[in-house]
């Protein structure tokens, strides 16, 4: 339920296929009746990482394409100019090429591609895609890379072995499959932890990368941090002499129960490392991690929480990073901190913005920082002044900005909405006006009739204002009655902003004739710190009341909502919400769908891998005074279940283990309630494979059409 999914997650989500047999590229499938479908959703291109040329005249970027028939994906590299013209496909290989970055003053593009042994290596090419040359020759391959400003050094992220295998402990049992576990965290997200990433510094002479040295040699710690950390967790200083990196230098139980990651700087010449968040000899406060972390939150004047993503100012005077204050709280306010490299003083910028700083970039003059943050269900660009610390919003509109970097005299950003998949934009850094550069999915935009999205504010049971997005079907007729879905967000503290999803897609729901009510209930950022934090240790509280407030308002006051045809759907914490609402809805809904939801909180407390989450949100272990959160476990209200329910789960999901969905399904079956279980043996908390994705959509709508429509 980690809410932060950053750029490194792209490689996992695009399912890089090293054995692709055909070139999977841009698709223009036939569109029946101008109607959006799951098959069309999977045919769309997915714009990924992008790099702006130093002269501000060109962008290199990734797009991922999927073949449902082959059940595979393929990621390619395009370039396009600063005016959104002259798009050029640079990819020649049938296998994926990723992470394009301009080098040599923009005269070449470095990227990752397979070598003859099918290991990912760093290559370079001219901006027109010709003259390809392999630069790295690492036996283990390369996960990602970053060139120093002077391009004499390169940071390579590589995977190294972690811990001992059974075969190491028992050399005569080479075919044994058992694992002997001696501590936490032995698995994470969707893998048994047997490898970790490390950053390596290497020399570059203009033609070859060589002489790699592990910055964390003999240290059993991750950098970047799993499961989603990427190159944004490392940075070169402007003079290319030091590297800043993010690391949580903890193991086992301490790693599983703590979010205390720090920012370190590594001197390339001397090999010396300094922790910017803690003084030398610092001892971590003693905390009982089976008790409420919220009640024990440590604030001893140091950075005890989640500190990530360092970036040096262009003038070399400061390092900025994102910082959460409290250890164990992964959804704490993500603040923007700057560190004076001369004085060692730290201070917070944009403290006047009562929401998270989700991504940022220094201005070229080092006098301000551009950042992305959500407010009232929209994620926009803001700018913070380094001198005063004050911030102002730069862009506006009903959409989400999801990345930002400098681009000539402006900014290169990715942007999306519930009505439009991610595209790249040039944003004027003075007035915030945006010009669309890529039109990856223009074919779908032109040939499909799309739904619309409107904001609606509702009063909560305690008199507060609740924002919901109301999604309306194509060709909406206000005089008709429509079946309506309550969408329950996950996270649990992820905003219901203008997100585009390739699974929980609002336009697919609208195309199937449903109105969707998507509330920004208690426990979501973008409405102030207090609103965001009210969910902690209070799962069955006002966050659930808010769902009832939103759907009751829609059913009673929107004439096009058919109160006799309501459904309720959600994933992760949204799945918990579905299971909980199934025992409390008092006949409101005709069907439920829970994906990767928590059914039994006591079970979840001991099953999940990131124990800090369970400790903070549930109030500690259930055997310590039985915190009230456990009293709101959905499994305690199965006796009130009376409505058809579909349970969906991936067996490689180690965040919320598949036994949760199985238990919920079994309970429904034993109660005689119409129920169905969709289980994916090879999927994690997400559904990533094309044919599984289509199966997910078909099963989802077959269930709703049977019981709601």
Q: What's the pLDDT band for 7 if we cut at 50, 70, 90?
A: very low
Domain boundaries defined on the chain: 449-707
**Of residues 513 and 20, which shows the higher confidence score?**
513
**306: closest CA among 263, 356, 348?**
263
Q: Cα–Cα distance between 525 and 489 in angstroms, integer?
A: 12
Long-range contacts made by residues 705-709, C-beta under 8 angstroms, separation at least 24?
Answer: 705/512, 706/591, 706/644, 707/567, 707/590, 707/591, 707/644, 707/674, 708/483, 708/485, 708/514, 708/565, 708/566, 708/567, 708/590, 708/591, 709/483, 709/513, 709/565
| SS3 assignment for 2-63 | CCCCCCCHHHHHCCCCCCCCCCCCCCCCCCHHHCCCHHHHHHCCEEEEEEECCCCCEEEEEE
- pLDDT, average across residues 231-235: 98
Q: Is 122 helix (H, G, I), strand (E, B) or coil?
A: strand
Q: Look at strands 88-89 and 98-103 and give their pairing.
A: unpaired
Check if 136 is active-site.
no
* Contact between 95 and 18 (Cβ < 8 Å): yes
* β-strand partners of 604: none
Is residue 239 over pLDDT 50?
A: yes
Encoding tokens for residue 511?
A: 């195309």
Q: pLDDT tens-digit profile of 74-128?
A: 999 999 999 999 999 999 899 999 999 999 999 999 999 999 999 999 999 999 9
Is residue 9 over pLDDT 80?
A: no
The fold of the 449-707 domain, in CATH, is Rossmann fold (3.40.50)
Q: pLDDT tens-digit profile of 502-552?
A: 999 999 999 999 999 999 999 999 999 999 999 999 999 999 999 999 999
Q: pLDDT tens-digit profile of 466-491?
A: 999 999 999 999 999 999 999 999 99
Range in 27-31, 279-283, 451-455 with the lowest mean pLDDT: 279-283
Q: How far is CA 585 from the centre of its chain?
A: 31
Is residue 649 over pLDDT 80?
A: yes
Q: What's the pLDDT band for 294 if we cut at 50, 70, 90?
A: confident
pLDDT for the residue 298? 67
Which is the catalytic residue, given 468, 572, 633, 658? 572
* Contact between 24 and 67 (Cβ < 8 Å): yes
- pLDDT, average across residues 207-217: 98
* Contact between 433 and 459 (Cβ < 8 Å): no
Q: Cα–Cα distance between 367 and 224 in angstroms, integer?
A: 28
| Average of per-residue pLDDT values in the chain | 95
pLDDT for the residue 12? 41
Is residue 19 over pLDDT 80?
A: no
Is residue 567 over pLDDT 80?
A: yes
pLDDT for the residue 295? 75
User: How far lies 317's CA from each of 246, 312, 366, 567, in Å?
Assistant: 19, 8, 9, 55
pLDDT for the residue 374? 98
Q: pLDDT tens-digit profile of 330-370?
A: 999 999 999 999 999 999 999 999 999 999 999 999 999 99
Check if 546 is active-site.
no
Check if 659 is active-site.
no
Encoding tokens for residue 139?
A: 């036996």
Is residue 595 over pLDDT 60?
A: yes
Q: Cα–Cα distance between 67 and 665 in angstroms, integer?
A: 32
Is residue 52 over pLDDT 90?
A: yes
pLDDT for the residue 291? 82
- pLDDT, average across residues 454-460: 98
Q: What's the pLDDT band for 15 if we cut at 50, 70, 90?
A: very low
CB neighbour list of residue 192: distance below 8 Å, 6 or more residues apart? 179, 186
pLDDT for the residue 638? 98
Which is the catalytic residue, given 37, 633, 653, 675? 653
Neighbours of 286 (CB within 10 A): 7
The number of CA neighbours under 13 Å toward the Cβ of 51 is 21
Percent of the chain residues topping a pLDDT of 90? 92
Encoding tokens for residue 229?
A: 């950390």
pLDDT for the residue 92? 85
pLDDT for the residue 13? 40
pLDDT for the residue 417? 98
* 185 prior amide bond cis, ω within 30: yes
Residue that is written with structure tokens 């769902």 in the block: 547
pLDDT for the residue 627? 77
Element (H, E) at 581: helix 573-582
Neighbours of 33 (CB within 10 A): 8
pLDDT for the residue 17? 55
Encoding tokens for residue 339?
A: 């560190």
Residue 699 class from Cβ within 10 Å (0-12 exposed, 13-18 middle, 19+ buried)? middle
Q: Is 187 helix (H, G, I), strand (E, B) or coil?
A: strand
* Contact between 332 and 535 (Cβ < 8 Å): no
Q: What is the DSSP secondary-structure string of 50-75?
A: EEE-TTSSEEEEEEEEEETTTTEEEE
Q: What's the pLDDT band for 14 if we cut at 50, 70, 90?
A: very low
- pLDDT, average across residues 178-195: 96
pLDDT for the residue 418? 98
Percent of the chain residues topping a pLDDT of 70? 97
- pLDDT, average across residues 675-692: 98
* Contact between 26 and 46 (Cβ < 8 Å): no
Q: Cα–Cα distance between 412 and 405 in angstroms, integer?
A: 5
Encoding tokens for residue 207?
A: 């033609």
């Amino acid at each position: 339920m980690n809410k932060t999914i950053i750029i490194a997650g792209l490689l996992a989500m695009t399912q890089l296929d090293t054995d692709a047999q055909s070139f999977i590229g841009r698709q223009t499938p036939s569109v029946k009746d101008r109607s959006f479908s799951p098959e069309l959703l999977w045919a769309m291109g997915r714009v990924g990482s992008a790099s702006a040329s130093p002269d501000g005249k060109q962008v290199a970027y990734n797009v991922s394409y999927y073949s449902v028939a082959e059940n595979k994906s393929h990621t390619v590299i395009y370039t396009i100019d600063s005016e959104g013209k002259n798009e050029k496909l640079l990819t020649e290989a049938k296998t994926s090429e990723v992470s394009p970055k301009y080098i040599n003053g923009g005269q070449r593009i470095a990227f990752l591609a397979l070598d003859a042994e099918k290991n990912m290596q760093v290559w370079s090419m001219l901006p027109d895609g010709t003259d390809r040359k392999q630069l790295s020759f690492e036996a283990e391959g390369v996960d990602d890379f970053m060139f120093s400003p002077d391009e004499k050094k390169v940071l390579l992220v590589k995977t190294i072995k972690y811990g001992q295998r059974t075969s190491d402990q028992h050399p005569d049992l080479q075919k044994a499959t058992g694992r002997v576990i001696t501590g936490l965290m032995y698995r994470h997200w969707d893998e048994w932890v047997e490898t970790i990433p490390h950053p390596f510094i290497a020399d570059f002479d203009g033609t070859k990368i060589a002489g790699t040295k592990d910055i964390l040699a003999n240290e059993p710690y991750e950098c970047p941090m799993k499961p989603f950390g990427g190159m944004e967790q490392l940075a070169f200083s402007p003079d290319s002499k030091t590297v800043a990196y993010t690391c949580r230098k903890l193991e086992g139980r301490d790693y599983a129960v703590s979010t205390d990651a720090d920012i370190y700087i590594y001197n390339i010449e001397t090999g010396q490392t300094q922790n910017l968040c803690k003084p030398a000899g610092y001892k971590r406060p003693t905390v009982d991690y089976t008790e409420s972390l919220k009640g024990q939150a440590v604030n001893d004047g140091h950075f005890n929480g989640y500190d990530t993503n360092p970036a040096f100012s262009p003038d070399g005077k400061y390092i900025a990073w994102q910082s959460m204050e409290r250890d164990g709280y992964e959804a704490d306010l993500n603040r923007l901190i700057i560190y004076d490299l001369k004085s060692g003083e730290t201070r917070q910028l944009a403290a006047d913005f009562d929401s998270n700083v989700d991504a940022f970039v220094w201005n070229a003059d080092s006098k301000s920082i551009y950042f992305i943050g959500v407010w009232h269900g929209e994620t926009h660009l803001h700018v913070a002044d380094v001198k005063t610390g004050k911030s102002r919003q730069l862009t506006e509109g009903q959409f989400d900005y999801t990345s930002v970097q400098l681009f000539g005299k402006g900014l290169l950003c990715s942007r999306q909405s519930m009505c439009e998949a991610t595209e790249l934009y040039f944003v004027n850094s003075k007035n915030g006006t945006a010009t669309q550069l890529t039109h990856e999915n223009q074919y779908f935009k032109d040939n499909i009739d799309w739904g619309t999205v409107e904001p609606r504010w509702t009063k909560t049971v305690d008199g507060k204002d609740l924002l919901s997005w109301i999604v309306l079907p194509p060709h909406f007729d206000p005089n008709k009655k429509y079946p309506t879905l309550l969408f329950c967000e996950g996270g649990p503290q992820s905003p219901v902003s203008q997100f585009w999803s390739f699974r929980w897609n609002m336009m697919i729901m609208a195309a199937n004739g449903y109105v969707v009510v998507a509330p920004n209930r208690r426990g979501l950022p973008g409405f102030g710190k207090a609103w965001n934090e009210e969910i902690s240790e209070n799962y069955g509280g006002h966050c659930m009341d808010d769902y009832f407030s939103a759907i009751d308002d829609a059913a009673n006051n929107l004439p096009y909502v058919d109160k006799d045809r309501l459904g309720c759907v959600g994933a992760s914490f949204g799945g918990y919400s579905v299971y909980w609402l199934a025992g409390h809805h008092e006949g409101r809904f005709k069907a439920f769908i829970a994906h990767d939801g928590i059914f039994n909180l006591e079970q979840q407390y001991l099953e999940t891998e990131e124990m800090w989450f369970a400790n903070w949100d549930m109030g500690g272990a259930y055997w310590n005074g039985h915190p009230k959160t456990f009293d709101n476990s959905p499994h305690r209200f199965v006796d009130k279940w009376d409505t058809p329910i579909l349970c969906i789960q991936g067996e490689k999901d180690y965040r919320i283990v598949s036994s949760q969905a199985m238990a919920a399904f079994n309970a429904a079956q034993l109660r005689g309630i119409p129920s169905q279980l969709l289980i994916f043996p090879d999927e994690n908390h997400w559904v990533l494979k094309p044919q599984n994705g289509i199966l997910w959509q078909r099963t989802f709508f077959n269930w709703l059409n049977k019981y709601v429509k």
